[in-house]
Amino acid sequence: MQGNNRSFNALLPWLIWLIAALFVIFQQFIGTFFSLIAPVFQANFNIQNTQVETITTIYFLSYGIMQIPAGLILDKFNIKPVLIAALLCTSAGTLLLMLVPFYFSALLAVVLLGIGTSFAYVCAIILFIQWFKQSRFAFVLGLMAGMGNVGMAILSYFTVANSSSTSLRTMLILLTLFALLILIGILIFIRSKPSATLTQPPTNTQSIFQSLIHVKKTETTG
């Protein structure tokens, strides 16, 4: 029994890494999704190409503006409920796109998507600081970035290849299921590492930026 617990404890950081990486893939893919299927979007929402571009712009604005608030929120609250709220917000955005096919509802939907996905990368960094040794931090971060780009490329290819034969509703259902799958993973596996064994212990007064500076200083002096 103890052997099983040790095996699970050894695997847990990588399960957490995978969940974080999937959320980053989702975030990167959403950034390209509307441009990839612009003709399908135009037909379903009865809008012009310039309006599709506006939808994409609003997403990136929402995502970008939320980066600093996301960091401040994560400085104050435990990462698990923040991630749950972020995925619920993301799922609400995809559901709104699916259920209410109007231009102004699409603008609201991408604002929700921007807010939800803005937590993906910052949360991943915090989890990696908590669960991985300093000597592995750069590796797991680079691995996530590589997986994110490869995953986005694969999803983009299949989206474009099947855009003429797959309805927008089906695509949005799949995106919602993807978000809910990540949410289930968060509910089951995401947790704060016990404070006695934290690799980089973030205290209540230590921000993610201070944690990253601490990691850098340790690597320099190590």
Q: What is the pLDDT of residues 29-42, one digit of tens each?
A: 999 999 899 999 89
For residue 133, pLDDT over 80 is answered with: yes
C-alpha to C-alpha distance for 177 and 197, rounded to whole angstroms:
34
DSSP structural state of residue 47: -
Which tokens belong to 31? Answer: 């950034």
Rounded distance, CA 9 to CA 12, Å? 5
Is 59:110 a contact under the CB 8 Å cutoff?
yes
Confidence of residue 2 (pLDDT cuts 50, 70, 90): low
CB atoms under 10 Å from CB of 121, counted, come to 20
The stretch 41-60 carries a mean pLDDT of 92
Is this model's pTM higher than 0.85 or not? no
In this predicted model, what pLDDT tens digit does every residue of 186-214 receive, in sequence order?
999 998 765 534 444 444 444 545 555 55
